[in-house]
Amino acid sequence: MANNDMNDKRVVIVGGGSGMGFALAELLVAEGARVHLAGRSERKLAAARQRLGASVTASRTDIADEDDVQRLFADPVDHVVVTAADANGSYSPIESFPLKAAWTVLGTKVIGPWLVAKHAAAVMATGSITFTSGIAAYRPSPGSSVLATANGALEALARTLAVELAPIRVNVVSPGWVDTPIWDDLAGPAKNERLAAMAAKLPAGRVGRPADIAQAFRALLGNEFITGTTLHVEGGHRLV
């Protein structure tokens, strides 16, 4: 059953200060949702609030810190979306991958969402929790061992929690290559060249835009008959 009314729904978006999370916030604010942004960068959160308007609230939150997460969910919520990612140190050959960097990736991509579900579920009756994995779980490349592992683990976590936390729905959106600020860190000056090269390979003929992913999140929030599912939004990347 679809419930497309987001008016007055309270939605927490972790990682909503930029990129895909911000695009979703824009979409939901336009529909009358009460959006709360959470993230580690106060600068990004402040800029997002300025663009989105006074109805949006925000708090600095490190989802790998359980005390932070517990404070984030002091009040009831209807939907939670986790888009948080950590590009710095995510890619490196295994022989030179520092253990500390690996723990950081796993903390942001797996333990953090696990903590979010743990504490969000305590203040939710129904609604949904949606995580973000990624194409690395399906099209791994050299240097992506930790990120591919984290993305695959996150999808397994969602399937488990869809059963354990029911009737709260738990799903995953798995994006492909999306033109977001994270690519400034990953590729630097070569960003446009690398994105153009991938666009030429994809059946869709282009890389993703934040709005593409926001619409996928929105579909999962509104459809009450989808749970334990991974929604792929990657322009056909798994096929090539």
Residue tagged active-site, from 18, 90, 133, 144: 133
Q: Before 189, cis peptide (omega within 30)?
A: no
Nearest CA to 81 out of 179, 142, 182, 6 is that of 6
Phi then psi for residue 229, to 5 deg, are -120, 145
Q: Cβ(206)–Cβ(186) under 8 Å?
A: no
Beta strands in the chain (DSSP E): 10-14, 34-39, 57-60, 79-82, 128-132, 169-175, 230-233
Q: Please answer whether residues 178 and 208 qualify as being in contact, where contact means their C-beta atoms are separated by less than 8 angstroms.
A: yes
Beta-bridge mates of residue 233: 175
Question: Does residue 133 carry a catalytic annotation?
Answer: yes
Question: Cα angle at 139 between 133 and 142, to 5 degrees?
Answer: 105
Least Cα distance to 72 among 45, 33, 110 occurs for 45
d(CA 151, CA 71): 26
Give CA–CA dist 95/134, Å, rounded.
23
Write out the catalytic residue numbers: 133
